Structure 1
Amino acid sequence: MHVPARMTRGEHGHILASAVSLVVVGVILLTLGLGMAVGIIGLFVPILVISASVLLILLLLRQDEWIAVALLMLSLYVDWYQGHLLLTPVLTGALLLIFFLARSPQYNWSKPCALWLWMLYLVLALFPALEGSLTRYDAAFYYPNIVCGAFLMFWLGTVLARDVRRLRRFFKILAALATCLAIITIIQDRTGILLLGTTRFDISLASVSNYNIFQGSNVYRLGSFFVNPDWNGAFFATLLCIPLGLCLDCLRLSGKIFYLTQALIILPALLFTYSIGSWASTGVGILAFVLLSRRMHYRIGIALFIIMGALILLILFPEQIALLLRHGSDPTTLMLRNGAWHTAMRVIQAHPFTGIGLGLQAYMRRAEPYRVPEQYRLLAHPHNSYLELGAMAGLPVLACFVGLILYALGRALCNWRRIDSKQSALLGGGIAAIIALSTNSLSVNAWTLPPLAACGWLILGLISSPLLSAEKNKDNEKGITHELTHAT
C-alpha cells in the first residue's frame, strides 16, 4: 500500500501562506464592496480591486520583487496621490506575515538589523504622534507611514534580499518604474496633461499656478503624482543611480545601452521639476557612486555618462537650464527656506525632548509663536526632514531616526566590501540612492514623505540585509569544499 509522503515545513508554509493571502485579499475586497454599497468609497474602487487581484496573483507565483515595487506604486498613487495613506502599511504588514508563514530553506527569513533601536524608535515616537493627531489625516500620515511604515518597509527589504540575483531583479523593476514616471513627467511638460490624473489633484499646466517657476510666468514646475515638484525631483534624484548601477553590472552591450537610456530619460524629467535641492543631491549621489566604484573603467563610464547627460541637456534644453539657475538664485525662495529652518531650530530649543507633536496642523499652530520674520508665511513643515522630526517629535526620536539610517548604511557598506567586485556596482547604486535621498532631505521633507520614505526604507533594507552576507559565506564554504574535494 502506498503511504503518502509527509509534507515538509516549507510545503506546509506555502499552503498556509496561500490561505492567509486569500483571506487578506478577501477581507480587502469585502471591505471595498461594503464601502461601495454604502457610498463611502469613491471611484478608485476598481483600481483597488485590480491591485488586490494582481498582488494575489504575484504572491501565489512568488514574484516577490514585483510585489515590492507594486507596493511602492500603491503608496504613491493610491495612498499619496488619492489621499488614503493607510493601504500600503496594512498590505506590507500582511505580506510580512505571509512570508513568515511560508519561510523555508529556499525562502529565508531574517530579522531587521538594529531591532532594539527600531523598537525604541517606535515607542518614543508614539507620544508625539498622539499629541500631533489633531486631524484624521495627520493621524494617518506620520505614525502609520513615517514611523511604523518605515519599520515594515525596511523589514520587507531585509527579507527580500535573499541573494544578489533577487537584488538585481528588484532594481531592474524599480528602474523601469522610475523611467515610466519620468516619461509621464515629460509628457506632462510637452502636453500639459498628467496621464492617469484625477480631479483630486488636477496637475495640468493650467491649474498649477502655485508651482509656476516665477510670479506671472507661464513655465511651471512639474510634480506629477507627487504633486509638489520638489518631491518629484527628490524621487528622480534618488533613483538615478539605480539604472547606472545596472548599466555597469550588465555584461551585454545591449543591456548597457538599455539601462543608460533609462538614466538619460530620468534626467530631463528631473530638469522639469526645477528643484535645486534635487540637483544638488543628484551630484552628491553620483559622487558617492564614483567613490564606491571599485574598478577604474566603472569610474570612466560614470564620467562619460555625466558628459553625455550634460551635453544632451545643454543642447536640447538650454532655456530650461537657464530657468533652473535663475530659480536657484531667487532671493525670496532662499529667504523663506532659511526662515523655515530657523523657526524649526527655535521650536527644538523650546521643546527639545517631546517636540510639539507629529502633525502638519499641529506644526502650523504650535510653531507660530517661534516663527522668525524671514519665514513670511505659514508652513506645515520646516522643509527639512531632520529638523521636522526634531521639532515635531523631539531630539530623542531624531537621534533614533538618524542612528537607524547610519547603522543600516554601515551594514550596507559591509555587504559592499564582502561582495564580488563584479557585482559591487549594484550595491553601490543602492547606497548612492540612499545618500542622495538623505542629502535631499536637508532642503525638503524627503525622508518624511510617505511614498519617498517607503522607497528609501525598502532600498535600505535590501542593501543592508544580513542575507546577502550569508549568501557570500555560503559561496565561500562551497568554494573551500570544492577545493578540498579536488585536492583529495
Structure 2
Amino acid sequence: MTAKDSLSDYLAGGIYYAILLEAFLIALSPPLATAALLLGVIFWLARLVVDKECRRFRRLPYDVPAALFALLGAVSIFVSPDRGFSFYNYYNLVGVYLLTYLLIGQNVQASQDIRKIVYALGLSCVLVVLYGFYQFAFGIDTSTMKWVDGDAFPELKKRVFSTWENPNILAGYLDVAMCFAFAFFVKMRDQRRRIALGAALVLLAACLAMTYARMAFLVVALIFILYGMFRDGRVLLAVGIVAGALFLLDPALLDRVTSVFTRVDTSSEMRLALWESTLAMIGDHPFFGIGWGAYWMVYPEYDFYLQGADVLIVHAHNMYLNYAAEIGVVGAVSFLWFFFGTMGLAFFSKVHDSEGFRQGLMLGISLAFFSIALNGLTDDVLFNIPSSMLLWLLAALAAVTEFAGNEEDEAIVMDELAARKRQKLRELRQRAKEGGESPKNSGEESEN
C-alpha cells in the first residue's frame, strides 16, 4: 500500500467518524453537529485532492429535485425585502442540509456503516427521552412560555421539550423515533431485539404524552392504525392498549387530544388566520416567493388576525404553504418531489437481509417521512434546523441503503452464477472422464 493510499484511507475514516458524530449530535447539540459536518466536509475535500478514484460521484435517486430546490431557493433571495438576511440564512441552512445529504450519499456504502449511523441516532434518542422524563419529574413550570392557551387548558402547567426548542418540535422528533422503533419491531427477526424495541415504543409514547402535542399524538396513532388496518391487525390492539393506558393515567392528556375535535382555542384560530395570510402571499408572489426566510418580514403586510400586535411570526405553521410562500410554487413542488420521492423509494424498496434490519430501516424512513408530512399540515416542523438536518440525513440513508442493497444483491447473483458455472464444469469434466474424453477435447479448458 502506497503512502497516498494510506492517507486516503485515513481521510475516509475521518469522514465516517464525522458522519457518526453528526448523527449523534443532531438531537443533542445542533452547533456541534454542524461542526462535525464541516469537519467531515474538510476530510472529504482533502480526500478528493489526494485520491483521484474518489472523484467519481454517484448519482443519487433524487438529486435533480434537490438541486432544483436549492437553485430556486437561491433565486428567491433576489426578491427578498432584505437580501443580506436571506442570503445569510440560505447559505447557513441550505448549505448544511445539502452538505449532510452529499457527505453521506457520496461516502457511505457498506451496510455495516449504515447500521452504525442508525445506532448513533438511536443512542442520542435515548438521551433525549431520558432528559424528557427528567424534565417531567423535576422540570420547570412552562405555563408562562405561551405554548398552550391557559384559558382553554388551565390545568396544563407542564410540557416537556428535552433538548429541543419547544414541546411541539420534540413531539415531531418523537414521532420520527417511534416510526423507526415500530418499523424495526415489525421487521426484525430476533426476539430479544423485538422485546427491547417494544419497550422503547412504550417509553417513547410516554415521553410523547408528556409534550401534550395534540397533532403529533394523533399523527403517530393514525400511522400505526393505518398499518394495522392494511398489514397486521394486532397493531390496532396494541395502539388501543397503550393509548388507553396513557389516557387513564393522565386525563389531561385525553382532554388535550380530544380538544382538536371539540373546541377552538387561540392556537387553532391563529393557525387558520396564518394560513389565510400565507395564501394571500402566495397569490401575490407565485413564481419566486417572498424570499428565503423572509416570512417574518413580509407577514405584517398580510396581518389579518393579530392586527399589529407585538408578536413575531416567523413561519406559516404549515410546511407546504411556508415553502410556497418563501420560494414560490415551483420551488415548493421541487422540495415535495424530493420529499415524497424519497418516501416512496423507502416504502417500495426491495432491499432485504436475513435479520430484517434493512427492511426495518427503509420502512422506518418511509413512516418517518409520512409523519413529517402529516405534522406539516398544522406546523412547519422543518423550520427547526436540527429537524431539517435529520430529514436530509434520513434521505441520504434511504439512497445509500438502496444502493447497498442493489450492490449486495448483484454480488449475490454473481456468486450464484459463478457457483453454477463451476458446478456445470465439474459435471462436464466428470462426463468427459466417464466417456474417455479429456476436458481439453470437450472444449472446457478451465474452470474460469
TM range (shorter): 0.7 to 0.9
Deviation at 1:386, TM superposition (A): 1.6
Deviation at 1:464, TM superposition (A): 2.5
Kindly indicate whether residue 415 of structure 2 is the aligned counterpart of residue 468 of structure 1.
no
Deviation at 1:284, TM superposition (A): 4.3
Kindly indicate whether residue 372 of structure 2 is the aligned counterpart of residue 441 of structure 1.
no
Query: Does the 8 Å contact 1:285/1:436 carry over to 2?
Result: yes
Kindly indicate whether residue 172 of structure 2 is the aligned counterpart of residue 234 of structure 1.
yes
Which letter maps to 2:277? T
Question: 3-state SS of the aligned residue for 1:211?
Answer: coil
In the alignment, structure 2 segments of 5+ residues that lack a partner are 426-448
Kindly indicate whether residue 8 of structure 2 is the aligned counterpart of residue 13 of structure 1.
yes
Kindly indicate whether residue 199 of structure 2 is the aligned counterpart of residue 261 of structure 1.
yes
Paired with 1:288 and 1:161, the residues of 2 have a C-alpha distance of 33
Please give the root-mean-square deviation of Cα atoms over the aligned residues, in Å. Answer: 3.6
Query: Does the 8 Å contact 1:172/1:243 carry over to 2?
Result: no
Kindly indicate whether residue 29 of structure 2 is the aligned counterpart of residue 77 of structure 1.
yes
What are the superposed Cα offsets for residues 246-288 of structure 1, whole Å, 9 maximum, x if unpaired? 2334333322221221121111111122222212331344356
The answer for the alignment partner of 1:353 in structure 2 is 287
What are the superposed Cα offsets for residues 15-47 of structure 1, whole Å, 9 maximum, x if unpaired? 4x27xxxxxxxxxxxxxxxxxxxxxxxxxxxxx
Query: Does the 8 Å contact 2:320/2:332 carry over to 1?
Result: yes
Number of equivalenced pairs: 416
Kindly indicate whether residue 189 of structure 2 is the aligned counterpart of residue 251 of structure 1.
yes
Q: Equivalent residues in 2 for 1:167-182 (5 A)? A: 167-182=114-129
The answer for the alignment partner of 2:146 in structure 1 is 210
Paired with 2:40 and 2:170, the residues of 1 have a C-alpha distance of 23
When residues 12 and 435 of structure 1 are mapped into structure 2, their CA distance, relative to the original with a 3 A threshold, is: same
Paired with 2:227 and 2:42, the residues of 1 have a C-alpha distance of 35
When residues 133 and 290 of structure 1 are mapped into structure 2, their CA distance, relative to the original with a 3 A threshold, is: farther
Kindly indicate whether residue 390 of structure 2 is the aligned counterpart of residue 455 of structure 1.
yes
Query: Does the 8 Å contact 1:434/1:460 carry over to 2?
Result: no
What are the superposed Cα offsets for residues 208-227 of structure 1, whole Å, 9 maximum, x if unpaired? 43224523545233323322
Kindly indicate whether residue 267 of structure 2 is the aligned counterpart of residue 333 of structure 1.
yes
Paired with 2:235 and 2:52, the residues of 1 have a C-alpha distance of 40
When residues 453 and 242 of structure 1 are mapped into structure 2, their CA distance, relative to the original with a 3 A threshold, is: same
Deviation at 1:139, TM superposition (A): 5.0
Paired with 2:5 and 2:423, the residues of 1 have a C-alpha distance of 33
TM-score normalised per structure 2: 0.80
Query: Does the 8 Å contact 2:286/2:325 carry over to 1?
Result: yes
Question: 3-state SS of the aligned residue for 1:444?
Answer: coil
Paired with 1:309 and 1:98, the residues of 2 have a C-alpha distance of 51
The answer for the alignment partner of 1:30 in structure 2 is none
Deviation at 1:439, TM superposition (A): 1.7
The answer for the alignment partner of 1:119 in structure 2 is 67
Question: 3-state SS of the aligned residue for 1:222?
Answer: coil
When residues 268 and 87 of structure 1 are mapped into structure 2, their CA distance, relative to the original with a 3 A threshold, is: same
1:481 to 413, 418, 434: 418
Q: Equivalent residues in 2 for 1:43-442 (5 A)? A: 59-60=13-14, 62-63=16-17, 66-73=20-27, 77-79=29-31, 87=35, 90-91=38-39, 93-94=41-42, 96-97=44-45, 110-129=58-77, 131-132=79-80, 134=82, 139-145=87-93, 147-159=94-106, 162-192=109-139, 204-205=140-141, 208-212=144-148, 214-215=150-151, 217=155, 219-286=157-224, 299=232, 302-303=235-236, 305-326=238-259, 329-331=262-264, 332-359=266-293, 362-373=294-305, 378=311, 379-414=313-348, 416-420=349-353, 422=356, 423-442=358-377
Question: 3-state SS of the aligned residue for 1:272?
Answer: helix
Query: Does the 8 Å contact 1:160/1:166 carry over to 2?
Result: no
Deviation at 1:443, TM superposition (A): 1.2
Query: Does the 8 Å contact 2:247/2:253 carry over to 1?
Result: no
The worse-fitting range, judged by mean Cα deviation, of 456-465 and 94-103 is 94-103
What are the superposed Cα offsets for residues 440-477 of structure 1, whole Å, 9 maximum, x if unpaired? 11211112321111111111211123333222222222
Paired with 1:288 and 1:431, the residues of 2 have a C-alpha distance of 14
Percent of residue pairs identical: 16
Question: 3-state SS of the aligned residue for 2:184?
Answer: helix
What are the superposed Cα offsets for residues 146-195 of structure 1, whole Å, 9 maximum, x if unpaired? x2322222223424652444433333332232232122112211211xxx
Deviation at 1:237, TM superposition (A): 0.8
The worse-fitting range, judged by mean Cα deviation, of 97-106 and 283-292 is 97-106
Paired with 1:185 and 1:67, the residues of 2 have a C-alpha distance of 22
Deviation at 1:242, TM superposition (A): 1.1
The worse-fitting range, judged by mean Cα deviation, of 93-102 and 204-213 is 93-102
When residues 356 and 342 of structure 1 are mapped into structure 2, their CA distance, relative to the original with a 3 A threshold, is: same
Deviation at 1:387, TM superposition (A): 0.9
Which letter maps to 2:352? I
Paired with 2:155 and 2:83, the residues of 1 have a C-alpha distance of 35
When residues 459 and 270 of structure 1 are mapped into structure 2, their CA distance, relative to the original with a 3 A threshold, is: same
In the alignment, structure 1 segments of 5+ residues that lack a partner are 1-5, 19-58, 193-203, 294-298
What are the superposed Cα offsets for residues 48-86 of structure 1, whole Å, 9 maximum, x if unpaired? xxxxxxxxxxx559546633423424xx5243xxxx996
Paired with 1:100 and 1:313, the residues of 2 have a C-alpha distance of 53
What are the superposed Cα offsets for residues 219-242 of structure 1, whole Å, 9 maximum, x if unpaired? 233323322221111111112111
When residues 144 and 342 of structure 1 are mapped into structure 2, their CA distance, relative to the original with a 3 A threshold, is: same
Paired with 2:42 and 2:306, the residues of 1 have a C-alpha distance of 46
Which letter maps to 2:147? Y
The worse-fitting range, judged by mean Cα deviation, of 429-438 and 245-254 is 245-254
When residues 158 and 288 of structure 1 are mapped into structure 2, their CA distance, relative to the original with a 3 A threshold, is: farther
TM-score normalised per structure 1: 0.74
Deviation at 1:105, TM superposition (A): 9.9
Query: Does the 8 Å contact 1:245/1:429 carry over to 2?
Result: yes
What are the superposed Cα offsets for residues 307-354 of structure 1, whole Å, 9 maximum, x if unpaired? 442243134333322233236644132221111111111100001112
Paired with 1:86 and 1:301, the residues of 2 have a C-alpha distance of 41
Which letter maps to 1:456? L
Paired with 1:96 and 1:443, the residues of 2 have a C-alpha distance of 38
Query: Does the 8 Å contact 1:92/1:152 carry over to 2?
Result: no
What are the superposed Cα offsets for residues 95-124 of structure 1, whole Å, 9 maximum, x if unpaired? 543675788999x97343333333332222
Which letter maps to 2:42? A
